[in-house]
Structure formats: structure tokens, C-alpha cells
Structure 1
Amino acid sequence: MSAGSLRYGPAILAGRLTRFAARLRKPGGGSAVPGLVVNRIAPGYLKRTLSGFPQGLVVVSGSSGKSTTTKMLVAILRAHDVDVFTNPSTANISQGLTSALLERADWRGRVPGEMAVLEMDEGHGALVMDGVDARAVALTNVMVDQIDRFHDSEMVVSMLGRIAGRAGEALIVNADDANILRIADGVAPGVAVHPLGVSQGVLDGAPRGLGYSATTADRLADGDGVRVESVDGRSAVLADAGTAVPITLPARGIHYAVDAAIAYATAKAVLGDRFASRVAADALSAIPAVFGRGERVVVRGQEVDFVLVQNPASYQLNVDGIEAGTEQILFAIGSDVRDPSYFWPVDASSLGRVSIVSGSKAAEAALMLAYDGVVIDRVEPDLARAIDDFLALPAPASGVKTIVFSADSMRRTRAHLGLTGTE
């Protein structure tokens, strides 16, 4: 159980009252506001609590793949009987992290759990981790990301380097990402570096590459770390010290296999002799897709695939992962994409046809798709109407109804459909 103190009692009470009021006003909303209140009243609470888990803190950060990797890692650790506290991926900045802790804390502010595994936003994580020691840090990748926040890859490398600098025992790195390897070169003495990557065959099967800002020229040698040996749809094989480990992925795509390899390698580094590859493989194969990231849901009696796109690289990888011949697609870009032009380098031609384009940036999104030769049946800026009309279409002759959306449109879609559960 993490450390707590009587002096945090008033802050915890204020945070819970704020949470209660926020949920009265908007069911399922206001999740970060209680954390903001607690951080203001008791600024030391977050750092003290993060430092108080008996088996330490594990941090997952990077441009993309954080949410899926974190969920996979938590599943593996829990399958090894570790009591894990974790945060929803919507709570990966300081006030969100505090709100997540508040959900589990007793009146003293103490949070149950042997180990904390936290996804952290690359920008906010560097600030949150100032003065907080992590047992292990896992870094996914560096991609061209949200240009209004992370306009320069070097800036992202610097922020991730600060997070990596808090690792006291292990740093788990994507060896296919040249920028991540640069961070590993600066690791403190005594911190073990655990690499993972994909085989040359997997890379050759990704004609657009892996999406990183800089991909290393050489692949990880057999036996030098966990390696993604093959990927076929939702099936993949990891190679671990000469042993083939078959797994099932939560969704199609090489990037999901890489997420699985990072989670597997991190669990192995943290658990040591307690780690069992078969237990890890079973845990990985059993988890569902993460909140919009290749997630399949049943709404109004129909199966619908949710595909979240957050930056050009994830957009390209996820669009390429949509099964060929998918007949009905709703494409929605919202207000979180302040400048849609940074999506223009993406080739969306594989979509072929889109039933409805929606969201506050519908016009820009439709223009972008049209330049890629995508046939658009209709542009409907009103997202709620677009969702209702899309779901009212007859069942598709091929594929599953698919909604491709940015984060803002994802939240609005879930709220409109009554999918209010957290990740």
C-alpha cells in the first residue's frame, strides 16, 4: 500500500467532493478536475504517493502505443499475481494521475497496490517525474506527433530522456527507434538496458516502415532481446532467448505486436525469476483492444470497430490495418486536430470509400480524403447525426462497420452512444 499521511485528509475530502459535484453536473465527465483541486491544496501528494508502492513504479511513455502497452503490461503482471495500481490512459497528465489515485485512495490518501504501472504523457511526464524515482521506464517510440505541442522530435527526445533518467533499475527500449537508442546511450551506471525490436522479415512486410521519426538501420540480433519474429493479422510470434512465443494481438497491425513486445520485455525485466513466458503469452492473448484503438464494440445490436488516429504515423498504421474491402466507414476529425494539414502526408487511399465524413473538421478531412482518391458518399459536420445515420445503414456486405476518429471525436462518439466507462 502506497504511503499516505493524515495531512492529506482535507485535500482528499475536497477532491472527492469536487468529483461528486462534477459527476452530478455531467455523468462520466470532469475526471481531471478533482486531481487539479488536490494538486493545488496538497502539491506533494502525487509525488509522495507515486514513490510509496512497495514493489516500485513502472512508467510507460513515448509518442504512440502508451495505452496499449500499459494495458498489456498490467495484464501480464496481474497474471503473475502482482497487485497492480494503474491509470486510465485518459489520465496520463498530473491532474489526471492524481484523480486516478483519488479513485482508489482511502481517507488518508493511501492507495492499495504492490506496484504502480503508469502511462505518462511525454510532456507532462517529465514534470511529474521530477523528484520521483521509477523502478523501470519503458519507452515506445518517437514519432512526428501533435504539432501544436510536440512540433520537434528533438524536443520529444529531451522530454523522454528526463523520464528515462528517473529509472533506477531498468530501461526498456525500442531498439528499432534510433532516437530511443540515443536516450539509452545516456542511461545512468547500474541501470540495465533491455532492448526489443522486430525482425527483418517483419520490417520487410511493412512497406511504409514502422512510422518512427528515425528508424535504425540494423535489426536486433537473435538472442539480444525480445523480438517480434512474425505478424499475420492478429497473430504474432515473439522470439525470447531462442524460444518462440505465439500470441494473439488485440487488433491487426505490426504496431500492436511491437506494443506486446515492449510489455513482455518490461514484465520480464521487472519480475526476474518470477517471469513465465507462457503466463505472459496467455495474458497478452486474452486482453481486448484498448479504448478506441482497434476496439470492437456492440452498439444498437451491431458490431462496430473503433480506430483512433492521433498523429500522422498512427493514422497511417491504423488506416493500413483496416481490413481490405471494409464497406462502411465513418471518418470523424474533431477540434483536437487544430491544424489538419499535418495529416496530409498520410496516404488514405486504401480506404477506397467512406460513407460519411464528420466532426468539426469535416470539410478539411473530406478534402484530404478526396485528394487520396477516396470516394465520399456524404459530408455531415454534425457528429451525432452522422453517427445515428451511419448506424442506421443496412448491414455491410463486407467487413465490419468502422469508425475512424481523432481523440475529440472519439470522446463525443462514446458519449453519444452511452459508452461512458473509463479505459
Structure 2
Amino acid sequence: MKYVIPVLAGRMVRALARLRGGGSAYPGRTVLALAPDFLTHVSSQFERGVVFVLGSNGKSTTTMMLTETLRAHGLSVFTNPTGANLPQGIASAFLREVTPMGDVRHDIGVIEVDEAFAVELTRSLKPSTVLMLNVQVDQLYRFFETERVGTMMTDTAALASTAVVTNRDDQHLGPYEAREGQSVTRFGAAADIVAASPNGLQNANDFTRRADGTLEAQTEVVAVNGDGASIRVGETTVDIRLPARGLHYAVDAAAAIETASVVLGGRIDPVAVARAFDGMKPAYGRGERMSLGADEAEFIMFKNAASLQMNLDALPQDVEQVMLAIDEGTPDISWIYDIDFSHLDHVDVLAGAKAWQLALRLEHDGIPVHVIEEDISKAIRLMRALPSPSDHTKHFVTNYEQMMLARRILGHPDLEKSA
């Protein structure tokens, strides 16, 4: 009975928030204020424990991939699908699943976690497995230096009770060594695959640098072709369809498959893996497609230099129509001078509060911009008014905040509201 009032109060707040158009954190704040041990109570009920997914880029996509892979193997999985990865957001996600008594009926929890809160959340969620994806130059106004983010992740991994899965090719994460009672396995991309990528795996001067050439990856990307990839898992190779184009999505897939293998005790079914990926839709705004009448809008969301670079590299050759949009949700965009924009021969529309800064950067490379329109609503109208491209796809490359606004303008509610 202890959790009945907190759960019902949280659900009431959630219903009110949805009526007002969103606000996924408020229900979680409510339940945690009334029952501070709520997260510990619900997470302790998972028979197969809790998996944390950490990383500068790819958390939401990899969480989805891992969740669907485990479901394809017959497990019932709880996850936080909206990307709400702070304590209150995770609590809100649990509110959708628990009974009024605070009980859950899932086998395992797969939870995307913000790195800054990860150590704190280990005290309540007690992860059995921690997956570390990558460390990028990201949100320096929050973290001040990249190495600090890597330390947050490895400190969290040290608290995992059973297993750590880490990125062989990340110099911050690859060298992680198991603590007492832990196993450590790694994922990565084959050297020839990284070398064939225009800008490797990271946006830095040493694009192809690896943590340690002697480290073995138990699961490895061995081929990528558009939205298709071949992933070696031990001695077996699995061919999968990715939810979106690009090497970065293939590496996310390798991370998810290796973590699923760890959770399942090495008993991965290649047929189940391929089936899971065949039915997978892009994560929220990550290659997501929406109708524009006779055409489609493809939303490609970026957070930082690395994600923008990898997404630009994965665009189709001779892309016909593209809008770039960035606003104050990305406070410091000085990193745009490290980006290789050579894949673009023009930009149709620049949008967002920082459109003029981006215009200056593109002018530096001699890339023509047809229209600059800071207002995202007007920018979308300009894109819709363009003639239909031959592939009937208009590409919207945006930061997170502009993506959210654009989705609403096109009539697509927030994931929390539509759940």
C-alpha cells in the first residue's frame, strides 16, 4: 500500500501534463517527492537486473536496439523510450508500467541514463550491466572537459554488479579493466571499415585512433552499405537492416548485440537478431520519416560535432534538398569549424537562431545557401514549397530542439504525449 498514493498522484499529474502538451518530468518529480525510494523498489523486481546505457551519442538508438533484440529473444523489457534519462524522467517512464501497488512485470530493465546522473542513479537502480558507447566533445558548458565525461562513465561502470560492455575503439573507454566480480567485453568496427569512412568514427584530428590495437572486440562491424550492416558476433556473422543510414548506427547495433549476448549468457539467436532489426523503426528524430504530402521529410538530429559529421557523411550522394537548423539549444557551436561539409554542394534553407553563424561557416567553404530563415515554421513552409525531389525526400538536419519544434509543426506529438 505504500506506493498507491504516490503512483496515483504521479499518474494524475501525467494526465494533466499530457492535456497541456507534454511535460514528461513532472509525474516523476511527483512520485519521487512522495516516495523517494520508488526507483529502488521498482528496479529491484527485475529478475535479470538493470542495464544502463551511457554515451555522448547514440544512447536512445542503442537502447531501442537492445530492447528490441532482447524482446525478440522472448524477454519482457522495461525501457524509457522517450529519452527522458534524468531521475525524474526515468520515474515517469516507470509510472506508465507499474501497477497501483508499485509492481512491475518485466524480466529486465534497459535504461538510458544521463552521464552526469549515472553514479547517483546506481544507488537506486543498482545496474547489473553497464554499456558505455563513446565519449565525444559534447556539452562542455555542462562538463567543462571531455575527459570528465569519460570518468563519469567509468566510475559508473565500476559500480556494475556483473558485467561491463565497452567500446574498443574509444580511447577513454576501451582500456576499462574489470573490477572484482565483473566481466568486461567489447564491441567495435573493423579497421578497414573505419578507414573507409570519410571522417572515421570521431570528429577530431586523429579520426582513426583506437584505444589499443591489442584489445579484442567480441562483436564487430565488418561491413556497412547504406542501411545494411554485417555484424560479427563471436564466430557468427549476422546481416541486419539498420533503422537509419551510417557507420555510427552500425556501431550502435554492435553495442546492442554484444550487450544482449552478455545478458543472455552468450546464447544469441542470429535469426532473432535479424528479425528484431527488420521490424525496427528509427528512434525519435534519428532518421525518422514523416509525410509531406507527395514527399517525405527525413529528420536527422545531431547533438554535437561527431553526430553532425557522421550524419552528413551518411547522406545520399548528390542530396537534392536539405535544410540545416540549429538554435540556442546548442549554446556553443564553435565546433562547426571542425566539420567537413564537403558532402553538401548547397543548402536550401538555414533555420534557427544560429542560422547566420552556420551561414558564415558554409560561406567559408564556398557552399551556397539559398535562403536563411530563422523561424522554423517559415523555414518548413519554404522547404514544403520546393518542387518534389526525384527521390521524394526532403532532408531536415537539425539539433534536438529544432527537431522537436519541427515535429510538432508537422502534427506529430511528443513521444510522451502519444504513448
Counterpart AA for 1:162: D
Aligned pair partner of 2:15 in 15, 20, 30: 20
Q: How far apart in 2 are the matches of 1:410 and 1:126? A: 29
Matched with 1:175 is 168
Q: Which moved more, 1:71-80 or 1:371-380?
A: 371-380
Is residue 329 from structure 1 mapped to residue 329 from structure 2 by the alignment?
Answer: no
Counterpart AA for 2:35: A
Matched with 1:3 is none
CA offset digits 1:288-307 (Å, max 9, x no partner) = 22111122222334212111
Q: How far apart in 2 are the matches of 1:42 and 1:148? A: 32
CA offset digits 1:373-412 (Å, max 9, x no partner) = 2211101111111112211221013572100000000110
Matched with 2:396 is 403
Task: Indicate conservation of the 8 Å contact 1:12/1:102, yes or no.
Answer: yes
Measure how far apart 1:370 and its partner are.
2.2
Measure how far apart 1:320 and its partner are.
1.1
Matched with 1:216 is 210
Q: Which moved more, 1:376-385 or 1:357-366?
A: 357-366
CA offset digits 1:65-117 (Å, max 9, x no partner) = 11111111111100011000111243111111011111122212223311111
Matched with 2:26 is 33
Task: Indicate conservation of the 8 Å contact 2:69/2:273, yes or no.
Answer: yes
Measure how far apart 1:52 and its partner are.
2.2
Equivalent pairs: percent with the same residue? 38
Task: Indicate conservation of the 8 Å contact 1:201/1:230, yes or no.
Answer: no
Counterpart AA for 2:352: G
Matched with 2:220 is 227
3-state secondary structure, aligned to 1:141: coil
3-state secondary structure, aligned to 1:308: strand
Aligned pair partner of 2:86 in 93, 96, 102: 93
Counterpart AA for 1:109: G
Task: Indicate conservation of the 8 Å contact 1:200/1:219, yes or no.
Answer: no
CA offset digits 1:121-143 (Å, max 9, x no partner) = 11122222234321211110111
Is residue 199 from structure 1 mapped to residue 190 from structure 2 by the alignment?
Answer: yes
Q: Cα gap change, 1:269/1:242 in structure 2, threshold over 3 Å: closer, same or farther?
A: same
Aligned pair partner of 1:388 in 381, 389, 398: 381
Alignment of 1:22-171 (within 5 A): 22-26=17-21, 29-171=22-164
Q: How far apart in 2 are the matches of 1:218 and 1:230? A: 21
Q: How far apart in 2 are the matches of 1:353 and 1:207? A: 19
Counterpart AA for 1:37: T
Counterpart AA for 1:190: G
Task: Indicate conservation of the 8 Å contact 2:203/2:305, yes or no.
Answer: no
Measure how far apart 1:218 and its partner are.
4.8
* Number of aligned residues: 413
Q: How far apart in 1 are the matches of 2:212 and 2:98? A: 46
Matched with 1:8 is 3
CA offset digits 1:201-235 (Å, max 9, x no partner) = 1111123121177842655777x511111112222
TM, length-normalised to structure 2: 0.93
Q: Cα gap change, 1:399/1:149 in structure 2, threshold over 3 Å: closer, same or farther?
A: farther
Unpaired segments ≥5 residues, structure 2: none
Aligned pair partner of 1:307 in 300, 314, 317: 300
Is residue 364 from structure 1 mapped to residue 357 from structure 2 by the alignment?
Answer: yes
Q: Which moved more, 1:192-201 or 1:130-139?
A: 130-139
3-state secondary structure, aligned to 1:397: coil
Counterpart AA for 2:44: S
Task: Indicate conservation of the 8 Å contact 2:296/2:392, yes or no.
Answer: no
Q: How far apart in 2 are the matches of 1:385 and 1:320? A: 27
Q: Cα gap change, 1:70/1:220 in structure 2, threshold over 3 Å: closer, same or farther?
A: farther
Q: Cα gap change, 1:110/1:291 in structure 2, threshold over 3 Å: closer, same or farther?
A: same
Aligned pair partner of 1:290 in 260, 263, 283: 283
Task: Indicate conservation of the 8 Å contact 2:404/2:414, yes or no.
Answer: no
TM, length-normalised to structure 1: 0.93
Counterpart AA for 1:18: V
Q: Cα gap change, 1:32/1:49 in structure 2, threshold over 3 Å: closer, same or farther?
A: same
3-state secondary structure, aligned to 1:178: coil
Is residue 276 from structure 1 mapped to residue 281 from structure 2 by the alignment?
Answer: no
Unpaired segments ≥5 residues, structure 1: 1-5
Task: Indicate conservation of the 8 Å contact 2:163/2:183, yes or no.
Answer: yes
Q: Which moved more, 1:258-267 or 1:35-44?
A: 35-44
Counterpart AA for 2:191: Q
Aligned pair partner of 1:355 in 305, 324, 348: 348
